Structure 1
Amino acid sequence: MPVLAVGATAAALAIAGTFLIGNEKIVEGACDRLEPYLRLQMKPLVVSAHGSPGVGKSFMHKLAARALYNRHPHLDLDCPGMDCSSLKVFSGLDYVSADRNLQHAALKAALVEHLNKSPQALIVIDEYDKMDCETQFMFRQLIQGSHNAKLSMNRAIVVLESNAGFHELHQLLVKTKDRLKLNPEKVQRMLKEIVSQKWDATGCHDHASLWKMVSMVDFFLPFLPLEQSDLRRLFDIRLNAIAADLLQAQQAELTWAPDVIAFLCDKVDYDGRYSIEGAKEASVLLTRYVSRALRQWQQQQPPKHQSPISYAVSQTGYNLPEVKLPQFVTGTPKAMFFLHLVVKPQGHGLGLLERRRSA
């Protein structure tokens, strides 16, 4: 049976500082709440995470699972999956259908089975604000009435995820101009009011029922939009990860100039200072301009060929409709190869050009 790892909160902070860009303080606040829960475990801990797509909500629960259940949370393990089987992810839209009775029965059966296997479960409900009335009532009974139920959730952690409130968070950040100056209590009250209004609008609750529904949430986590400085860090981390993979595979030594990261940041869509889709768009851009070209380069390399690679942006640019690489010259194992990312004359993309020079 999976158990919570010793030093889980410290591990969560460590891996969040490495991977969760722009919202490190959010995770620090969550760990402050997590510590007493891990000691007492008298009720399920319910966390409501809010923010726009691509700011780290889903990534947070994966990091949390790795920190909570894995002895080596820094490793790239199968999570969710066999390496952290205590994590279970549901979607609020999965159980809204014409045949609701069957869907609710399936949901309850899945929850009961998971909690029987993993009492110290981490249960994630994505888009929870879109659950229908009956599903909301069922979750409230499980969470708030677990001490009377045959199946206890007292040792579980429930993470509710929603995009609700992202516009208000953006406006609040624009007003303060510094995420470190945001008042945590004010943000908590704002998100609580937003959730209360959304649940009230469903018509599922009277005043007493609505209060019980909202009060089951122990605290609200605001995930703030990413700035260009956050994206620069993110691109640098991702490029370093690519470089580490190439080096471990003994294929190449990868370097890049600062203007490559600037080029990628310029391709991001912004609303004022803040990225619209955050890390989600960053992943798409890395695939489009870096990973795809690297795969083409790798396909043309002989087995076990190791060569230094450099990324740079040329102001003059090259007309490269496709990646064209010279043939590898056999018998020159010490030859150095430099792979350059260059801007095309029309300014629409990066191309790969391999240049060889003597070692």
Structure 2
Amino acid sequence: MHIMRKSLLVYLSISFVLVDAFEPVTTTVIVGATGFLYPLGKKIYNYFRETCNDDWIGFNTTGLEKDLERKLFGQHIASRVVLKGVTGFMNNKSPKKPLVLSLHGSTGTGKNFVSQLIADNIYKKGMTSNYVHLFTSTAHFPHPSQIDTYKVQLQQWIKGNVSSCPRSLFIFDEMDKMPLGLIDSIKPYLDYYDNLEGVSYRHAIFIFLSNAGGQNISQVALDFWLKGKDREEIQLKDLEAALSLEVFNNKNSGFWHTSLIDKNLVDFFIPFLPLERRHIRACALAEMAAQGLPLDEEIAGRVADEMIYSPKAERVFASKGCKTTRSKLDYYT
């Protein structure tokens, strides 16, 4: 791309030097050609360089629906709520506030994966897009004593990036490890404001990921299993009380005593159910397909068998979900 631009500039320079050597009619032709080449070169340059426009950003409703259906296992509630929430927001040309999703559940149940699927179906470059920003609490905010500095940096980072591209996506991982009070610093950006200091945040998306609530969600799922009920019978209303109790009252939830809750700025609290052996097998097979390997049911079964399950007596739910599926699969392949 650099070579192309350099060649174009050299050509333009030569053209301007030659202008004085030609008759008026010839000069007109050359200048006209130069005027044509410059926008053409700019168009070619923008084709390869990511920009905040429809060429690089556009919501694929069907793609997200299919990805959630085919790639996410054991999460009928999360799939439905995510699809409904993201589709409604992206199809709204004049949203009143940014979309704010809070994903909760035990490790390995698909929270990060769903964030990736959302990014993949909005941004042409997916998670590698310049407009997708991932924050991990232990990496970006490791010292609670520096919370005041973090607040200023986080505000500046969000404001700067939304100024550059209104359709920005911010993902906050490990919310349960977030320094208390930090997330309150971005409350104004999630609220119902037309703009703040000339910047509108209404088209941005914020996703919070947390393990908080995982144990309570697992207990509800276990109760259904013990009663002989199908996990697909579990509805969002069955989990709301258990989830809210953990998220609102736990100091390690990342949302404890936060104004985001008081002001109802989180649009959807989305529970992720613990995964069973059959889901681990499905994850293993999906990973084989992603790596271009032949699907091997026997190996998928071995991977599932090696997982640690809880409770110890019943061995129903995989303690780490699908998180270590890839590493175990590498051992057998």
Task: Give your verdict on TM over 0.5.
Answer: yes
Please name the residue that 2:321 is paired with.
Answer: 278
Q: Measured at CA, do residues 276 and 69 of structure 1 come closer, stay the same or move farther in structure 2, by a change above 3 Å?
A: same
Aligned residues: 268
Is it true that 1:100 corresponds to 2:147 in the alignment?
Answer: yes
Per-residue deviation, residues 117-158 of structure 1 (Å, max 9, x unmatched):
221111111122433344232121221264351222111111
Please name the residue that 1:325 is paired with.
Answer: none
List aligned pairs for 1:1-359, cutoff 5 A. 1-3=52-54, 8-38=60-90, 39=92, 40-70=94-124, 79-81=126-128, 84-93=129-138, 94-97=140-143, 98-144=145-191, 146-147=193-194, 149-150=196-197, 151-177=199-225, 178-198=230-250, 205=257, 209=259, 211-212=261-262, 215-243=264-292, 254=294, 256=296, 258-271=297-310, 272-290=315-333
Give the distance between the partners of 2:158 and 2:205, measured in 1 at CA.
Answer: 13
Q: Measured at CA, do residues 203 and 79 of structure 1 come closer, stay the same or move farther in structure 2, by a change above 3 Å?
A: closer
The one-letter code matched in structure 1 to 2:268 is F
| Unaligned segments of structure 2, at least 5 residues | 1-51
Query: What RMSD in Å do the two structures reach over aligned CA positions?
Result: 2.7
Give the distance between the partners of 1:173 and 1:278, measured in 2 at CA.
Answer: 14
How high is the TM-score relative to the length of structure 1?
Answer: 0.67
Other structure's SS at 1:159 match: strand
Between 1:196-205 and 1:278-287, the stretch displaced more is: 196-205
Give the distance between the partners of 2:81 and 2:194, measured in 1 at CA.
Answer: 27
User: What is the Cα deviation at residue 263 of structure 1?
Assistant: 1.9
Work out whether residues 226 and 274 of structure 1, in 8 Å CA contact, stay in contact via their aligned partners in 2.
Answer: yes
Please name the residue that 1:316 is paired with.
Answer: none
How high is the TM-score relative to the length of structure 2?
Answer: 0.72
Q: Which has a greater percent of strand?
A: 1
Per-residue deviation, residues 162-221 of structure 1 (Å, max 9, x unmatched):
000111111111111232111212323432232111259999749xx47525x2111111
User: What is the Cα deviation at residue 242 of structure 1?
Assistant: 3.2
Work out whether residues 90 and 124 of structure 1, in 8 Å CA contact, stay in contact via their aligned partners in 2.
Answer: yes
The one-letter code matched in structure 2 to 1:212 is D
Give the distance between the partners of 2:270 and 2:332, measured in 1 at CA.
Answer: 33
Instruction: Give the structure with higher Rg (CA).
Output: 2
Give the distance between the partners of 2:255 and 2:108, measured in 1 at CA.
Answer: 30
Work out whether residues 199 and 210 of structure 1, in 8 Å CA contact, stay in contact via their aligned partners in 2.
Answer: no
> Percent same amino acid at aligned positions?
23
Q: Relative contact order (C-alpha < 8 Å, sep 6+): which is higher?
A: 2
Give the distance between the partners of 2:261 and 2:295, measured in 1 at CA.
Answer: 55
The one-letter code matched in structure 1 to 2:171 is V
